[in-house]
């Protein structure tokens, strides 16, 4: 294992390129007495194929997105697991496309995940549920369903080490991502409340912050991450002081910087905005002024 890796008992954090900045990520490698598991094998695991290929008995996914499954083909003999709700994304490319749900971008996304992330279907993959545990001999991986980013997104608690793998609750300055067909804002908010109370000693996110080993720092970063949701909603409300169409809101960019050009940006902006609009309509804080435009009510 490389010097940069962090070790906690049976758990090694395979720290990714640029501390796991997308498209890379931080993966976990767990060596029990009776078996070895890798969690979310990233492009940085692919780069270490000479050292790691074929050495895991289990591949366990926090969820199924291109950057989290890039290293799955290194372990053809391993049993591969994801939460039942995300399983179709492992079993075939059609399933992965359903998870994204970006209309009109199907061909571009298929090419993107196969060419840049080495995607290969695993029709033999298995599903797990909340509360399931994988015993590896002296250490185990316990599943805590934490949906919102995707329907099946789960955090994984490794015991007795007390390492909590957060997946894409990535504590980044971007904030929570809930822009896919498989995403849900309200679920993500419930997950952010629940994950705060999980007993752990070390927290590992797939991207950016990597390893955190004290609770105060974790809670501070979690609160800052969660606050991005309210900041987006406030910015949207401000923008709706004038009546606006969805096209105008997408063009304004509430998530991505104006210079970003990935093909899926508009779809993600729209799905994110729509979830906030639905909530603001329900709460009576905005109204539809005609067929296509929304407007803020009052100054709440
Ligand atoms: Zn993800």
Q: What confidence tens digit (pLDDT) does each residue in 107-123 have?
A: 889 999 999 999 999 99
Give yes or no for residue 165 having a pLDDT over 80: yes
Distance in Å, CA 207 to ligand 1 centroid: 10
Which residues are registered as beta bridge partners of 12? 7, 29
Give yes or no for residue 3 having a pLDDT over 60: no
Distance in Å, CA 74 to ligand 1 centroid: 20
Q: What is the pLDDT of residue 137?
A: 98
Torsion of CA 228, 258, 147, 44, to 10 degrees: -110
Distance in Å, CA 170 to ligand 1 centroid: 9
Distance in Å, CA 178 to ligand 1 centroid: 9
Quick one: pLDDT band at residue 126, thresholds 50, 70, 90?
Answer: very high
Q: What is the pLDDT of residue 1?
A: 61
Instruction: Tell me which residue has tokens 């496309």.
Output: 97
- Please state the rounded mean pLDDT for residues 118-143: 98
Distance in Å, CA 264 to ligand 1 centroid: 14
For 247, the token pair is 């096209």
Please list, in sequence order, all residues whose beta carbon lies within 8 angstroms of the beta carbon of residue 206, skipping any fewer than 6 positions away: 20, 25, 26, 27, 40, 42, 62, 67, 68, 165, 166, 167, 168, 170
Distance in Å, CA 139 to ligand 1 centroid: 26
- Please state the rounded mean pLDDT for residues 198-226: 96
Please list, in sequence order, all residues whose beta carbon lies within 8 angstroms of the beta carbon of residue 50, skipping any fewer than 6 positions away: none
Give yes or no for residue 300 having a pLDDT over 80: no
- Please state the rounded mean pLDDT for residues 38-49: 97
Distance in Å, CA 190 to ligand 1 centroid: 17
Quick one: pLDDT band at residue 269, thresholds 50, 70, 90?
Answer: very high
Distance in Å, CA 234 to ligand 1 centroid: 25
Distance in Å, CA 206 to ligand 1 centroid: 9
DSSP string across 35-86: -EEEES--HHHHTTHHHHTT--SEEE-SS--GGGSTTGGG-TTSEEEEETTT
Distance in Å, CA 289 to ligand 1 centroid: 35
d(CA 11, CA 38): 10
The sign of the CA dihedral 249, 269, 146, 209 is: negative
């Amino acid at each position: 294992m490389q010097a940069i890796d962090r070790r906690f008992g049976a758990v090694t954090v395979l720290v990714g390129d640029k501390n796991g900045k997308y498209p890379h990520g931080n993966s976990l490698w767990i060596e029990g007495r009776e078996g070895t598991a890798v969690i979310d094998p990233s492009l940085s695991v692919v780069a270490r194929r000479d050292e790691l290929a074929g050495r895991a008995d289990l591949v366990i996914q926090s969820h199924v997105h291109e950057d989290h499954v890039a290293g799955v083909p290194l372990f053809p003999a391993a049993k591969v697991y994801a939460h039942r709700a995300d399983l179709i994304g492992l079993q075939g490319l059609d399933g992965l496309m359903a998870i994204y749900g970006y209309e009109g971008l199907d061909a571009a996304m298929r090419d993107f995940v196969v060419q840049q992330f080495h995607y290969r279907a695993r029709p033999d993959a298995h599903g797990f549920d909340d509360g399931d545990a994988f015993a590896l001999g002296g250490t185990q991986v316990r599943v805590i369903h934490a949906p919102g980013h995707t329907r099946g997104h789960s955090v994984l608690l490794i015991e007795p080490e007390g390492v909590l793998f957060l997946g894409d609750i990535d504590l980044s300055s971007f904030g929570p991502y809930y822009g896919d067909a498989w995403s849900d804002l309200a679920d993500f908010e419930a997950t952010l409340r629940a994950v705060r109370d999980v007993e752990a000693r070390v927290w590992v996110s797939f991207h950016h912050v990597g390893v955190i080993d004290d609770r105060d720092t974790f809670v501070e970063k979690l609160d800052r991450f969660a606050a991005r949701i309210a900041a987006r909603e406030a910015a949207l409300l401000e923008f709706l002081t004038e009546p606006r169409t969805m096209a105008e809101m997408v063009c304004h960019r509430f998530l991505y910087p104006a210079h970003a050009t990935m093909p899926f940006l508009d779809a993600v902006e729209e799905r994110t905005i729509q979830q906030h609009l639905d909530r603001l309509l329900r709460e009576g804080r905005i109204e539809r002024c005609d067929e296509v435009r929304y407007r803020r009510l009052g100054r709440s």
